[in-house]
Amino acid sequence: MAFFLQNAWLIPLLPLLASAIITLTPIRRQAMASAWLATGLMMVATVLALGLLAAVAGGWALHHGELVQLAAHHGEHGAFAFPEPNVVQRLVWAPAGDTVLQMGIYIDGAAAAMLAMVTITSTCIHLFSIGYMAAHPRQSRFFSFIALFTAAMLLMSMADNLLLFFMAWEIMGLCSYLLIGFLYERPSAARAAVKAFITTRIGDVLLLLGIVYLYAQAGGIGFGNEEGGIFYPPLLERLASETGALGLSHAAGIALLIFGGTVGKSAQFPLHVWLPDAMEGPTPVSALIHAATMVAAGVFLVARTFPIFAADPTSLGVVAFIGAFTALFAATIALAQFDIKRILAYSTLSQLGFMVAALGVGGWVAAMFHLITHAFFKALLFLGSGSIIHAMEQQPAIQRIHHDDEYAAQQTAQDIRNMGGLRTRLPWTFWTYTAGYLALAGIVPFAGFWSKDEILLDAFKHNLAVYLTLSAAAFLTAVYMTRQWWLVFFGEYRGAHPVVFQNPDAPAGHAEHGHDDLHHDDHHHDHGEHWHEDPRMIAALVVLASFAVTAGAFNLPFDGPGGHWLASLWGQEAAKLNPLVAGLSLLIALAGIGLGWYGYRNAFATATETDPLAARAPRLFAILNAKYRIDELYAATVGRLTASLATAWSLIDRSVIDRLVDGMGRFTFGLGKVNFIIDDTLLNDGPDGLASGTQGTGRQARRLQTGKAQDYLIYVFSGLLALAVFWLYVIGR
């Protein structure tokens, strides 16, 4: 166990090393070598993370290099406190006034669980990508980016202070920009990358202000319950009792600024708009962003700094409201989407809302439990959608569209109206996808039931309004996922006569040449249906599906094998099974599944049929399909204001600043000319003339020095004669 504790720092280093080797060495020219290097090192990191988790779960810790056994810690009722860390390794980094900033790793139960989850899901995504990205010419670059992305998430999970946390957080932001815009030939991908980068920066600025605020008040930003750590009880009491700006306590002000980072990174309302557009990246990127890394980072930020939030309930009320609203808001939008990946994207928004709301009502264990289970089954669903899209793009009708416009072909292949009957064509994908669907819908005994039920239980105990809102969101989750599952896998295949996506960026008659990560074989143009499941992709799906089925056993709400295991690992109070809430949760899920099946069992005999919801409530469907027109609202307000400010600034730049700079340039040029004249005439020509005269005089004087006695006698005689004449005619008169 000592090995895993002492070498925990290798876990983020291995994917970072993979990224560096692929980027800086000739191996980047070998696509498969780059892919397997990144995947192999991720597998090693997974082994280290699992070993670390086992050591932490066993209560082992490193104190001054010695392996010791920690005493069991269980949170008291109504109180929250992190247990003593298992590993703390720090080094001096930079001076800061009278102190120095330290950087290092801080491993406790929460960090160990995050490291295990991230490495497992990321390894599966890497493995899936080997098959999915096989035909892409920039495959090596892709693996370099996702390896760096994973390294940043792992470093963030084990960071010992908020500054290092923020640095890793920002590296993830850079990688998300690079990966969402990976297919940069497409204008839509480039726009989505910029949108994600700018939107999340709003939250990041708030987070940075929160870190500065905390440092100003606490004198440090390191994690820990001891004196000097930001969880030190007397410090938290002071932050909660002293008032800052706007009448808020320091604790509430710091917590709300930190939560701003979560709103941006975890795409909570109103900064949610970037996440659906992130689907423009390759499908493994969607799985990586929406499951194991980027969006989970925001939830983990609140969970990691939860004692600051708990110090003042004001901030928790805001967190609960935003999370519950986002959960229901996103679930309604998912009801009216047709793109298989966008439905899952809005599902992610909704599930993140569940986690945030759970934190807001004090359900720390429930939120973290759902974060972990959701990572497994949502990664499974995204990768399953990638397997479906990969197979759909091989079909003759899609291939014909691809010949003219590749982007339109891919978007057409992602439309669930063009699918149907795929359970027999893609059996492995069907069964694994079904496991993810049932987990997300909340059906017992799948993982999502246990974690979502625990969230609903905490909401039921502490905030009835949040409970009712989340219950409605859970019901809609079952509805839209049943709609998607049924239209994709059942009925007749509709892709022979698809609804063709109209690409607004492609001029008429012009084929867009930026292509996604899919195989395209020309011989499929003239043949019938061809369905194929890549073994490397299926292997990843099977691993994730096993966790979608069993991960709920990590924290069962009763005593026995797996019972309260995560709560015990995290040193927190364990939740007990409430038969009423659990029964209602299951009933809600079954009702949603029943409604989804009833509404769509006979829908879409052809791809062009009207959606049943659109037929019954066309105005409602239109507003949901348009995502409540939030993007248009932002474009008309913030976007227009930004454009107006940019125009005004451009005018000021040209009319004032440019003229001022140009005038200063002309003045400086004239001053330089005057200076040149003075310098050339007085400082150069004057001394040069004096020097030339001195040299000429010296040359003439040198000619007088002949060295002959008779010449010197003549000089003496001439001098005496001159003096005599001067005396006689000038002085003597």
Segment 311-320 shows an average pLDDT of 93
- pLDDT, one tens digit per residue, over 649-683 is 899 998 899 889 999 999 999 998 888 888 777 77
Q: How confident is the model at residue 706 (pLDDT cuts 50, 70, 90)?
A: confident
For residue 733, being part of any structural domain is answered with: no
Start-end of H helices in 406-527: 406-413, 422-425, 427-441, 447-462, 464-489
34 to 21, 38, 129, 175, 515: CA distances (angstroms): 9, 6, 12, 18, 20
Q: Does 345 fall in a domain?
A: yes
Answer for the pair 365, 574: CB distance below 8 angstroms, yes or no.
yes
Token pair of 598 as six digits: 């009833």
Q: What is the pLDDT of residues 125-161, one digit of tens each?
A: 999 999 888 888 899 999 999 999 999 999 999 999 9
Domain boundary among 583, 609, 625: 625
Query: Do 576 and 668 fall within a single domain?
Result: no
**CB 57, CB 34: distance < 8 Å:** no
Span 93-112, average pLDDT: 87
**Last-in-domain residue among 607, 625, 643:** 625
pLDDT at 73: 65
Residue 730 domain flag: no
User: Counting beta carbons within 10 angstroms of the beta carbon of residue 681, is it exposed (0 to 12), middle (13 to 18) or buried (19 or more)?
Assistant: exposed
690 and 556 assigned to the same domain: no
pLDDT band for position 516 (50/70/90)?
Answer: very low
Read off the pLDDT of each residue in 400-415 and give the average, rounded to a whole number: 88
The answer on 411 and 535 residing in a single domain is: yes
Q: What backbone phi and psi angles, to 5 degrees, belong to 190?
A: -65, -40
**Structural domains counted in the chain:** 2
340 and 374 fall within a common domain: yes
608 and 642 co-located in one domain:
no
> Residues 212-230: pLDDT tens digits?
999 999 988 999 999 889 9
Write the burial class of residue 293 (CB in 10 Å: 0-12 exposed, 13-18 middle, 19+ buried).
buried
Rounded to 5°, the CA angle 19-22-26 comes to 160
Determine the average pLDDT of the residues in 636-657: 88
Nearest to 419 by CA among 343, 519, 491, 526: 491
Q: Is the pLDDT of residue 37 over 50?
A: yes
Taken in order 297, 303, 306, 309, is the CA torsion positive or negative?
Answer: positive
Q: Does 232 lie in the same domain as 346?
A: yes
Q: Is the confidence at residue 468, as pLDDT, over 90?
A: yes
Q: Quick check: is 163 in a domain?
A: yes
**Mean pLDDT, the chain, whole residue set:** 89
Other beta carbons within 10 Å of 694? 10
Residues 188 and 329 in one domain: yes
What distances in angstroms separate CA 537 from CA 66, 124, 221, 390, one per listed residue? 43, 9, 42, 10
Q: Is the pLDDT of residue 25 over 60?
A: yes
Domain of 637 in residue numbering reads as 633-722
In a domain, 108, yes or no: yes
DSSP-based helix, strand, coil % in the chain, nearest 5: 70, 5, 25
> Tokens representing 392?
């759909």
The predicted pLDDT at position 1 comes to 76
Domain match, 542 and 638 both: no
Q: What is the pLDDT of residues 587-618, one digit of tens each?
A: 999 999 999 999 999 999 999 999 999 999 99
Instruction: For residue 182, give every residue at least 6 positions away whose Cβ sits within 8 Å of its Cβ, in sequence order, or none.
Output: 138, 141, 142, 145, 189, 281, 282, 285
Which of 564, 595, 625 corresponds to the end of one domain?
625
Residue 192 has pLDDT above 60, yes or no: yes
Amino acid at 410: Q
Q: What is the pLDDT of residue 70?
A: 84
| pLDDT range class, residue 527, cuts 50, 70, 90 | low
Beta bridge partners, 91, equal 103
For the residues 82-86, what does the mean pLDDT come to? 91
Residue 732 lies in a domain: no
- So what's the pLDDT on residue 96? 73
pLDDT tens for residues 711-723? 778 888 888 888 8
Task: Please report which residue ranges of 570-708 form alpha helices under DSSP H.
Answer: 579-600, 612-616, 618-625, 630-634, 640-652, 658-678, 686-704
Based on the fold, state whether residues 656 and 699 are members of the same structural domain.
Answer: yes
* 641 found inside a domain: yes
If asked whether residues 400 and 527 sit together in one domain, one would say yes
Across 282-311, average pLDDT:
88
pLDDT tops 60 at residue 339: yes
Q: Tell me the average pLDDT across 363-383.
A: 95
- Domain assignment present for 415: yes
Whether residues 680 and 597 share a domain: the answer is no
pLDDT, tens digit, 9 for 90 and up, residues 417-466:
999 999 999 999 999 999 999 999 999 999 999 999 999 999 999 999 99
Q: Supply the pLDDT for residue 712.
A: 77
Q: Are residues 700 and 584 in the same domain?
A: no
pLDDT band for position 513 (cuts 50, 70, 90): very low
Asked if residue 528 has pLDDT above 80, the reply is: no
**Cα(481)–Cα(172) distance, integer angstroms:** 29
pTM of the model: 0.87
Q: Are strands 87-96 and 60-63 parallel, antiparallel or unpaired?
A: unpaired
